Every structure is written in C-alpha cells, then in structure tokens.
Structure 1
Amino acid sequence: MERNISESLLIIFTKNPEIGKVKTRLAVTTGNETALNIYKFLLQHTLSVTSNLNTDKWIYYSEEIPEKDIWPSEIFSKKLQQGEDLGEKMENAFREAFKHNYEKVIIIGSDLYDIVQNDLENAFLELEKNDFVIGPAKDGGYYLLGMKSLIPELFKNKKWSSSSVLSDTLKDLKNKKIKLLETRNDIDEFHDIKNEPAFSKFLN
C-alpha cells in the first residue's frame, strides 16, 4: 500500500518514448527520429519542472513500465494507464487517486514546454479555493485538469485530441466553481515549435 506524504497528488501521463509511436503529427514534418528526440526533450523538461514540487507524484505510462527511465523512483511512483481511450484512462487514474484519499489531484501530460514549476504550484493553490482548475491549450483542449472529487462525465462523450474538448468539458462543469489558468501551447504539430528557439537545435 502506498503511503501518502501529501494531501495533493500530481499525475503525469506519458507515452513510452519509442520511435514511430510519439508525436506522430509532428513526425509528418520532422520525421520519426526527430519527433522522438523532441519528445525526449519534453520529457526532460517535465521532469525538471515537477521534481521539486511539494506533492506526491505518479507517472502513468501508456504501454509498459520500463526497468530504466528518467524518473527517480524515490520521487515518482510508476503506474500503467488503464482504459480504452484517453478519457477512460484519465478517469481511472483520478479514481485511483481518490481511492488513496488524496484531496487535491491534478493531471498533466508530458509534452508541454510552456510550463514551469510555479504554474503547477499556482494550480494547486487555486484548487484550494475552487472545485476545479483547468489549463486551456491553444488547440481547444486542455493541458491541465485538477479536481477535489471525481465527476466521471468529464471523461465521457468527448472527441479527444480535438478542438471541442475544452468547451465540452466546461459544459459538464457549468454549475461548478472553476478557475481557468493561463492558456498554453502544447506540442503536437510542427507549427507549435517552428518559432520556438528551444527547438531550433532539432530542426537544423
């Protein structure tokens, strides 16, 4: 049984970094090898902005839990995503968190360069005052979702990876107290990185 050292939990969803299986929309332009290298770069960034966060942290892998990875086991608990689609996988992760009696739970992906530790600290602070926190993404989805109790409807009847995810989610929460964070740009396609200096080394 895992021991909670905090009332707050950060869940990080990640894909196993395998060539041809990550950043496939980006790979259309950059090629599979460059897309994989960019994803590994984003994983390192996610590690750097989450390692010192004063919460418990669970990493959820898409395919399998590798024997060796970049996430130190003394900081990050490793788990496997369970479910048919992204919604079901996220719902199951939140359900597991609340089963462990966490009071504030936030989920993020691992492909957001446009985020720092302070953003996550602020999200947890906002969750003390609100029922939900959401970080809108520029593409119409969200890069962060936080809650204090599970609402399964949030994860059903959504067209994941589409521009309607955020608006459909907000409809499910119309009577709840919500804090919308700053809009950020998650990395999915070439236009998301072409003007970002941090990615120029991958594109030359």
Structure 2
Amino acid sequence: MDKKEPLLLIFTRNPELGKCKTRLAAKIGDVPALEIYKFLLSHTVGITKDLEVEKHVYYSESVWTDDVWNDQTYKKQVQRGADLGLRMQYAFENGFNSGFQKIIIIGSDMYDLSQGDLEEAFELLETHDFVVGPAEDGGFYLLGMKSLKVKLFQNKSWGTETVLSDTLEDLKTEKVFMLPVKNDVDRYEDIKDIEAFQSYLKHIKE
C-alpha cells in the first residue's frame, strides 16, 4: 500500500443495546436508538467503502469481525485513551507513524455526510494544513491534517459546545479550511423532522 495515499479514520461504537446514542435513547428508548445507530453505521459504510483511500475503523470496545465493516475494506483497531481527545490523538499518531501524509477522522453518526464531502475534504488538504467540519452542537464532525498537532487533543471539554471554538483557537495561526456546518445525530430533535428516520419514531408521541 502506498503510504502517500490518504487515510480515513472512522470512530465507531460497538452497536450494543443500551450503550450507544444514550441521549437519543432517553427519549425514544434503547431498542429504537440501537436500530437508528445501526442505520447510521450502514450509511457511513455507504459513503466510505468506495473512497480511494486507506480506511481504518476504531471500535470503542472491541474489534468485531463479520460485521457491517467489511474486513477486506477496513482495517480494524480498538480506541485507546482515557478521553476522546487521547483516543483521537492515538489514532492520528498511528497513521502518521505508518507514513500516511493526509489523515481525516470522522465519527459514524453523520447522516448529512456524503462520499463527495469526504473526497472534497481530502482534496482541500492539498492546499490547506487543516480541514475542519463544524457541527451544529459546537463540536466538529470532521478533522483533517497533514501533520500531527497534539494541542488539538488536549484541554478540551469533549462533548460540549466549546470544542469547536477551542479547536479553532488552537488553529488560529494555521492554514485552515472550514467546511459547511452539519448536524450530527445525538438527540431526538436532530432527527424528528427527517424522513429517513420516521420508521424508527412511530411510537413517539410529541
């Protein structure tokens, strides 16, 4: 494998009942929340499997084989670190230490994301040092870079609305491209008006 080709990191939770989409589950229940997460995983596979880049999936708990992530298409590892920042730093370090020169990380719960969005983000790393996809909730749904900047993974309140602003503060002297704002799926309000999710929400009374 030519290490000069780009690398896509995909962070995912093992889809287990009661362990994923907990904020969504609080409103709609554990079973529908798990079904929605599996739907989002399938969507993420759909927008990444044909990308002409190396692809590494980082599981939250343990590596699963024969699951939605095809073992021939995706290399599989387990996230390591005490918080999200350290886990992302570990994954980026692995990639750069392996010789990859353009690395992008995404989660696996972005219904708004397309294959074209990812192709564009990798292209932007030709002319920018960093690419950031801002999320509506104040975090980011995509982060790309050409060299490791450890500061990005430190001193953040992960999962809060300050992550994006703190990240951009760390990047204020860098050449950064900001992608369009998109909405990740964390809460009932994120999906209640989207047609694709209606079959999972029939039991919900407003």
8 Å contact 1:158–1:165 — kept in the other structure?
yes
Query: Separation in 2 of the partners of 1:194 and 1:33?
Result: 17
- Distance 1:136-1:173 versus aligned 2 partners, 3 A rule: same
Letter in 1 for 2:45: L
User: Which residue matches 2:116?
Assistant: 118
Q: Following the alignment from structure 2 to structure 1, what is the Cα–Cα distance between the partners of residues 110 and 80?
A: 22
Aligned to 1:172: 170
1:36-56 CA distances to partner (integer Å, 9 max, x unpaired)? Answer: 000000000000000000100
Equivalent of residue 58 in structure 2, options 60, 64, 73: 60
SS of corresponding position for 1:118: helix
Q: Please give the TM-score of this superposition, normalised by the length of structure 1.
A: 0.97
What is the DSSP-based 3-state SS (H/G/I as helix, E as strand, rest coil) of the residue aligned with 2:133? strand
- Counterpart position of 1:94: 92
- What is the letter of the counterpart of residue 139 of structure 1? D
Task: Return the TM-score normalized by structure 2.
Answer: 0.96
Q: Distance in 1 between matches of 2:139 and 2:26?
A: 21
| Identity between Structure 1 and Structure 2 (%) | 52
Answering whether residue 23 of structure 2 is matched by residue 8 of structure 1, we say: no
Shift of 1:103: 0.6
Gaps of 5+ in 2: none
Map 1:1-204; keep pairs closer than 5 Å. Answer: 3-4=1-2, 7-204=5-202
After superposition, give the CA deviation of every residue in 1:147-168 in whole Å (9 maximum; x if it has no partner): 0000111000000010000000
Q: Deviations over 1:56-102 (max 9, x none)?
A: 00000000001321111111000110100000000000000000110
Task: Give the partner amino acid of 2:58.
Answer: Y
Report the Cα distance in structure 2 between the residues aligned to 1:104 and 1:141, rounded to whole angstroms. Answer: 21
Asked if the contact 1:193/1:199 (under 8 Å) is kept, the reply is: yes
CA distance in 2, matches of 1:67, 1:173: 37
SS at match of 1:128: coil
Deviations 1:184-203 (A, max 9, x none): 00000000000001100100
Partners of 2:4 and 2:75 lie apart in 1 by 13
Q: Using the alignment, how far apart are the partners of 2:4 and 2:19 within structure 1?
A: 34
Question: Which 4+ runs in 1 deviate beyond 3 A?
Answer: 3-6
Q: CA deviation at 1:131?
A: 0.5
